[in-house]
Chain A
């Protein structure tokens, strides 16, 4: 279980998170929604230990990651798979090498096994043809999918996806969602997904949390969020302009 308590962060005096509280049960898929610039990526970066909060805690299975450093933090990160909003592919490596990288460097798998897993991972995101291409030679949506393949290939226990499907066509959005569901039913990982895919994302979420004004203003199962009486939530999921 991941427990976030009173997470607070300001950049140069500008508050972004003002005390975020959230519980992410082990094995569930939790989706974070909220306005662009609302602090979703900043929130995610606290959970993976890239940013340090001004106040508050992130507790992953009894361990407070905001207090961990160096090797102890790496121990926790061993279990993570992360997809950054921009993909963050290594641009000096081909797509196949990108996916192979964590297998080789983290798990130290033999060559044949690595090749087999990389091929399977790329096939899952329908990118068999892009294996030998460099990130600069493929489209933005293809890059996103390589990043997803790279995060899932090591079968992490906890996955953090920052807008994994933004910029993909509707068919691919559903393909990725189905892939996440399918892998989830097989490996039962804990997932935290930041997404703007409303309402599609509600179909795979166990619970949805809305981040607004630096706080989680509403959380619950998708149906409850959709039926929410909170006008801010309603306006957001209906996409009403201000």
Chain B
């Protein structure tokens, strides 16, 4: 085939091949989720693996969520106070901190933190299971590896990301309170009172949908990369890096997209 094309057309052919292979791998990526959802809808459901994954993705990320949430809130409290006080509107510190956290920073930062902690570990674990033939062992036992390894992770992501985001938001709001009220002398009533006035259910739902979607995206990318790992330790290392980078980029892209589509 290659030899028959005139020299001038070869770069075009290569471009076409490149585009085809991108479309193909996108298809595989989508097909992977489709298959997993198909299995999700057919019993039996592996409760033990699900609880284990909740622990792995959610519970063990608690400390990092608490830490980053608190400091994000404190930074927001400080910076927004300085900005707002220039317009004489520091009374709105409470809603400003809360809205920034609930609509944007909570879902995004929590998701990025969990990607770094649990997404990478998930890819590495599945990658090692792949290269040591543990996934093949499940397959030849006529047990579907997606049912045991992927579905529980996807559902655990779906459940635990919103919960961790809620925690991140709450801790962040108290971080802002610590700086704004305790340190900079805003009144407690103003901080929380204005928050109640200006934060609506829509904002909270937006944060919820974002985090639920991020939970699926992160575990989807992590399990896909783990399942399709290359050869040896280097393959696992590369898959882990790719998983974190791809998940992080997708989080930010989807964040923008959802921010412009949702109310």
Contacts and interface: CB of A to CB of B under 8 A. Distances in A.
Interface stretch (A21-29, A85-93, A219-227, A232-240): A85-93
B44 to A, nearest CB: 9
B137 A82 contact: yes
Contact of B140 (A75, A77, A91, A101): A77
5 contacts: A50-B140, A88-B136, A88-B137, A90-B137, A105-B141
Contact of A91 (B134, B136, B139): B134
B205 to A, nearest CB: 37
B141 A86 contact: no
A86 B142 contact: no
Contacts of A161: none
Contacts of A89: 134, 137
Contacts of B128: 91
Contacts of B142: 74-75, 77-78, 80, 106
B136 A86 contact: no
B207 to A, nearest CB: 34
A32 to B, nearest CB: 17
Interface string B41-64: 000000000000000000000000
A90 B142 CA distance: 15
B66 to A, nearest CB: 27
A86 B132 contact: yes
Interface string B117-149: 000000000001100111011011111000000
Contacts of B133: 84, 86, 88
Task: Give 8 closest A-B pairs by Cβ, nearest first.
Answer: A88-B133, A74-B142, A77-B142, A88-B137, A82-B140, A84-B133, A48-B140, A78-B142
Contacts of B132: 86, 88, 91
Contacts of A90: 129, 134, 137
Interface residues of B, number: 12
Nearest to B52: A92
Contacts of B134: 88-91
A50 B139 contact: yes
Contacts of A91: 128-129, 132, 134
Contacts of B143: 105-106
B216 to A, nearest CB: 24
Contacts of B137: 82, 84, 88-90
A140 interface: no
Contacts of A86: 132-133
Interface string B137-177: 10111110000000000000000000000000000000000
A101 B139 CA distance: 13
Contacts of A74: 142
Given A82-B140, A89-B134, 5 more contacts: A74-B142, A86-B132, A88-B133, A91-B132, A106-B141
Nearest to B148: A105
Contacts of B141: 77, 82, 101-102, 105-106
A203 B137 CA distance: 29
B49 to A, nearest CB: 10
Nearest to A71: B142
A82 B142 CA distance: 11
Nearest to B35: A70
A22 to B, nearest CB: 19
Interface in A69-115: 74-75, 77-78, 80, 82, 84, 86, 88-91, 101-102, 105-106
B126 to A, nearest CB: 11
A78 B140 CA distance: 8
Contacts of A105: 141, 143
A90 B136 CA distance: 11
Contacts of A106: 141-143
A51 to B, nearest CB: 10
A50 B130 CA distance: 12
A72 B132 CA distance: 26
A242 B134 CA distance: 36
A74 B145 CA distance: 12
Contacts of A80: 140, 142
A89 B133 CA distance: 8
A77 B141 CA distance: 6
A74 B139 CA distance: 8
A205 B134 CA distance: 28
A157 to B, nearest CB: 13
Contacts of A77: 139-142
A241 B141 CA distance: 39
Contacts of A50: 136, 139-140
B164 to A, nearest CB: 23
A165 B222 CA distance: 36
